[in-house]
Structure 1
Amino acid sequence: MNVFKKLLRLVSDEDYRYLVKAARFGEDYLDDETYLKKVYKALFHRELNLTSPQTFNEKLQWLKLYDRNDKYTMLVDKYLVRDYVAKKIGKEHLIPLIGVWDDPDEIPFELLPTQFVLKCNHNSGCGMYICKDKSKMNVKKVKRALRKGLNQDYYLTCREWPYKNVKRKIVCEQFMGDSLIDYKIQCINGHVDHFMVCYGRTETMLPDFYYFDKDWNFLPYNPYLTELVDFETIKPKHIDEMIRIAEILGKESPAMRVDLYEINDHVYFGEMTIFNHSGFDAELPYEIDLMLGKKLQLPEKKK
């Protein structure tokens, strides 16, 4: 959407204005339930049903409010979760760790390898730096971005409460290569339901999203595919191992998403996501949203 169209929509669309405001400020004066109802209504143009939620997105909002397990904070912490994953599936599935720090000024850039990845442990993307050639790195700019990332309150805009109490750190991991295929595996009640494959990501292009069931049958969940590929070319060689790993890790919450990579004939852990798309996936067709919602069995309330 170009700048003119955005401005026009800001003027003419009250719901869009609220979503832009919420994304920027998080409306911290509102309690979680009130805020989630307002954002959901603005995004989906219907009321959020928390009394008897039906769709997958609705049930994820319910889980934010009523499935509060202290362990979830550790699971979303990109640093602390490493020990948990090592115990559950083996440390050989972890991307090698180079270092961890509390402040950008603590990072010994001169000692880092030529290639590496810096990221915050409590958010998604903000502050991340993928270094492919350290000689071209602007250290001041990288530090500035990391400080911005550390200062981001990732809980506030979507009210994913597990992020609220993560002790913020900077993590440095080994660079694992360009154009990696990201296999996001959605578990429902501890069992793999489907894969979302992020394929074709570059520095300038967003990936296409392909959905498959665990038998690798294509699922028409994405109405915005730009082009189709040979599905066998993006099928992981170790799909059975991915399913095994996802179901081990996926038992920790009713709707856990487990992200994995297949690199050099080996499966690596990426991260765990308790609320897929924060429960605000408005691009998911309604009939699919409803179908997935019927599969998800909610636990007893734990507010």
Structure 2
Amino acid sequence: MKNKYINKIYEYILPNISTKVLIKFKFFWHFGYSINLRNPKTLNEKINWLKLNDRSQLHTQCSDKFLVRDYIKHKIGEKYLVPLYFQTKLAEEIIPENLPDEPHIIKTNHDSGGGIFVRDKSKIDWSKVQKQLHTRLGINYYPRSREWQYKNIEPRIIVEKLLEDKNGNIPFDYKVHCFNGRVRMISVDMGRGTDQHYRNWYNTDWEREKFKWSSPKENGKNTDPSDQDLKKPKTLKEMIRLSELLAKPFKYVRIDWYDVDEVLYFGEITFHHDGGFRPILPKTWDITLGSELELPIIAINKS
């Protein structure tokens, strides 16, 4: 019900509201108190401050799921890239003849939505897929999110290899959160797309963190930590080293990885985890983590 009302509000106010005002409104809506943009203290406040003040062409490139491949290739090498099978700006070109016979995923490069999993081309309604992709190509993610890096991405469709481990399972999703070029914590998503979607938090020594930073699931629950502990991945040191190479130009950034039978593949780069609008619990940890993120001293952007 809450989302229904907020969607109606967005429909009427988005075209005429400034980024700063929208951030203030959304922050109060989610947290129940006003954001301090002049002297941000919590991690969520600082992420929103960065949304207003930390903008560059490199942010746009790294948020583009197609162009980021060049950044990865240049910084750490193309062996970490998921194989790319096809790319196009036209939904009508997503037809079986242009796609591989092996499992793959179809997604757009300019938004934060999920992809279309294809394991058997003969079982796909391609007209439905094209219609869905055509709609997604016409959406600019920026007006609602006000995350500037998405504003000028040229929409396109990319088709990549579907990553699966030796047992045919989708690999765990490791999200490496970096503060000022150094890895601070790692979250691991398990069971994505299911009711058993959990998210555990670890430090760089693979010890459980004492906080949670959960996202909403489709069933109305959250991606809270699992009671089950996860074995430390053998690729952890490499994951940390590579993440810090990629994170060096940025104040806060999240580098996502997949570990497929001890082989690392780059996932994506995110600059504002959940938009800076999801609570960190216990609340004291929002302040603790915020104190560890250093911001540059510049004038507040009034956009």
TM-score, normalised relative to structure 2:
0.89
Q: Which amino acid aligns with 1:119?
A: K
Q: 1:163 to 1:25 in 2, by over 3 A?
A: farther
Alignment match, 2:175: 184
Which of 210, 226, 230 pairs up with 1:220? 210
Aligned with 1:165: secondary structure? coil
Residue in structure 2 matching 1:286, options 278, 283, 287: 283
Q: Give the count of matched residue pairs.
A: 286
What SS does the aligned partner of 2:15 have? coil
Residue 147 of structure 1 aligns with an amino acid whose one-letter code is H
Matched residue type, 2:105 = V
Q: How does 1:240-279 map to 2 (within 5 A)?
A: 240-279=237-276
Per-residue CA deviations over 1:53-81 (Å, capped at 9, x if unaligned) read: 11000011111111122221001000001
SS in 2 for 1:229: coil
Give the alignment's Cα RMSD to 1 decimal.
Answer: 1.9
Q: Aligned equivalents of 2:32 and 2:202: distance in 1?
A: 28
Question: Is it true that 1:29 corresponds to 2:13 in the alignment?
Answer: no
Aligned: 1:53 with 2:35: no
Query: 1:158 Cα deviation (Å)?
Result: 1.9
Higher helix share: 1
**What amino acid does structure 2 have at the position aligned with 1:255?**
Y
2:135 maps to a residue whose letter is K
**Using the alignment, how far apart are the partners of 1:137 and 1:24 within structure 2?**
33
Partner of 1:229: 228
Determine whether 1:124 maps to 2:121: no
1:136 is displaced (CA, Å) by 0.6
Query: 1:197 matched to which residue of 2?
Result: 188
The secondary structure found in structure 2 opposite 1:246 is: helix
Equivalent-residue separation in structure 1 for 2:90 and 2:189 (angstroms): 31
- For the residue of structure 1 that corresponds to 2:201, the secondary structure is strand
Quote the residue 2:217 is aligned against. none
Following superposition, the deviation at residue 23 of structure 1 comes to 6.2
Partner residue, 2:219 = none
Q: How much has 1:190 moved relative to structure 2?
A: 0.4
- Write the distance in 1 (CA, Å) between the matches of 2:130 and 2:26: 33
Residue 240 and residue 262 in structure 1: after superposition, are their counterparts in 2 closer, same or farther (change >3 A)?
same
SS at match of 2:34: coil
- 1:265 partner amino acid: E
Q: Secondary structure at the match of 2:264?
A: strand
SS at match of 1:71: helix
Choose from 158, 173, 182 the match for 1:171.
158
How far off its partner does 1:19 sit?
3.1
Q: Choose which of 207, 212, 218 in structure 1 pairs with 2:197.
A: 207
Other-structure match for 2:218 = none
Contact persistence 2:280–2:286 (CA under 8 A): no
Inter-partner Cα distance in structure 1 for 2:11 and 2:250: 29
Assess if the C-alpha contact under 8 Å between 2:184 and 2:203 holds in 1: yes
CA distance in 2, matches of 1:206, 1:106: 35
Q: Is the counterpart of residue 152 in structure 1 residue 139 in structure 2?
A: yes
Deviations 1:252-274 (A, max 9, x none): 21011000011132111000001
Distance 2:204 2:291 in 1: 18
Amino acid at match of 1:123: D
Q: How does 1:44-83 map to 2 (within 5 A)?
A: 44-83=31-70
The percentage of counterpart residues that share the same residue type is 35
Structure 1 spans left out of the alignment, 5+ residues: 1-5, 11-15
Letter in 1 for 2:189: C
Q: 1:162 to 1:237 in 2, by over 3 A?
A: same
Structure 2 alignment gaps of length 5 or more: 215-221
1:161 CA drift (Å): 0.7
* Superposition misfits of 4+ residues, deviation over 4 angstroms: 22-26
Q: CA deviation at 1:227?
A: 3.7
3-state secondary structure, aligned to 1:59: helix
Q: Letter of the aligned partner of 1:212 in structure 2?
A: Y
Q: Distance in 2 between matches of 1:300 and 1:279?
A: 20
Alignment correspondent of 1:87: 74
Q: TM-score, normalised on structure 1?
A: 0.89
Of residues 217-226 and 167-176 in structure 1, the stretch that sits farther from structure 2 once superposed is 217-226
Moved more, 187-196 or 171-180: 171-180
Whole-angstrom CA distance in 2 between matches of 1:277 and 1:270? 16
